[in-house]
Structure 1
Amino acid sequence: MFSNVSSDILNNIFLLMKKKIKNFNIKIDKFNIGKPSVDIFNNIIIDYYNVPTPLKNISNIIVKNSTTVQITVFDKSMVNIIKNSIILKNLDLYPYTADNHIFIPFPVLTTEKKNKIVKIFELESENAKINIRNIRREGNEKIKLLSKNKQISLDEEHLYLNKIQLLTDENILKIDKIILKKINSIKKI
């Protein structure tokens, strides 16, 4: 019979790893990879009359053409605040305004810039893998402590350690697939 505590540990590991994968995805989606994407604006928060508000809640963001994103701001008085927020995010983008619209041209990436982005992606993927392995290590320590304290049997310990390793392997594979897809999309530009 399996211990509820060890099942809780396993479930917690699953949730922590899932969260790390989600955070990794969010982090690399922020990068300007040379083609217009509304995704890089998803995490921009604007101080909208002293209330932190996601940009997408106070504007309409669309890909206007193959090189430009257009943001139509609902409240014209916020245009310059939003433009400055985009500049301050250090996305290597230089927006300009017209009426209640903000236009963000995406520069064509040079080979040097593509290589730089690939290196950043590889570094970020390695950091994500380290986070996943740290979660594994902490989970393994908790399971071994349960076994040491005779709360679970040695067979259960080995079973849970194997399950934790499988979760780790699955999540590292997810990271590899995500980063491979991103790198391939950069190389196609």
Structure 2
Amino acid sequence: MSDDIPGILKDAESKMAKTIDVTKEEFSAIRTGRANAAMFQGITVDYYGAPTPLNQLASLQFPEARTIIVTPYDKTATSAIESALRDSDLGVNPTNNGDNLRLVLPALTEERRKEYVKLAKNKAEDGRIAVRGTRGNAKKSIEKLVKDKEIGEDEGTRAEKDLEALTKKYIEQVDAALAAKETELATV
């Protein structure tokens, strides 16, 4: 942490911006009606005894909205990739044609959509908590500067107001990202 007001606010803003990026990234991993590469980021494959991310072992192609073709770089890893995909929470059963794996994502049921909305809300709340945690740390730094008489109380109060405005801005961004994801999930 910096030891001056602009530095503290700048640190807080950069951490809040990173929180927004992480939250949006987590949203992109939540499945919607269309297949996308982010859905596969959390999938690891047991490759020669080492957990390896799927994107390092195979290429992904999306010929249709709900169809994915997984082409392993190493054909010997095909069965390990197939079992990792089957065990994932995507709800897919890969079809192995020898050269690649074909996945057809099942249509989202209303119940499954509601589960995904709930998951998105939980991830949004995690984002809000992280933003508020950053605010708390910055506020402590500002209070310490006032207590150590490095800045005046008026300046400290102004800095806390700026910090609150910053916090509000980033929490609104989390809420906007959540609203967009809920709309995306509701679209059939």
Q: TM-score by structure 2 length?
A: 0.87
Ranges of 4+ aligned residues in structure 1 off by more than 6 Å: none
The 10-residue stretch of structure 1 (47-56 or 158-167) with the greater mean CA deviation from structure 2? 47-56
1:95 matched residue in structure 2: 94
Secondary structure at the residue paired with 1:71? strand
Secondary structure at the residue paired with 1:10? helix
1:135 matched residue in structure 2: 134
Contact 1:75 1:100 in 2 (8 A): no
Structure 2 unaligned regions, length at least 5: none
Q: CA deviation at 1:52?
A: 5.7
Secondary structure at the residue paired with 1:63? strand
What is the count of residue pairs matched by the alignment?
187
Aligned amino acid, residue 25 of structure 1: K
Contact 2:47 2:80 in 1 (8 A): no
Identity %: 24
Q: CA deviation at 1:104?
A: 1.7
* Paired residues for 1:121-132 under 5 Å: 121-132=120-131
Contact 1:74 1:100 in 2 (8 A): no
**Are 1:62 and 2:61 matched, yes or no?**
yes
The 10-residue stretch of structure 1 (163-172 or 49-58) with the greater mean CA deviation from structure 2? 49-58
* Paired residues for 1:3-42 under 5 Å: 4-42=3-41
How far apart, CA to CA, are the structure 1 residues paired with 2:5 and 2:47?
Answer: 46
Q: CA deviation at 1:142?
A: 1.4
Q: TM-score by structure 1 length?
A: 0.86
How far apart, CA to CA, are the structure 1 residues paired with 2:67 and 2:26?
Answer: 22
Secondary structure at the residue paired with 2:35? coil
Change (3 A) 1:69 1:145: same
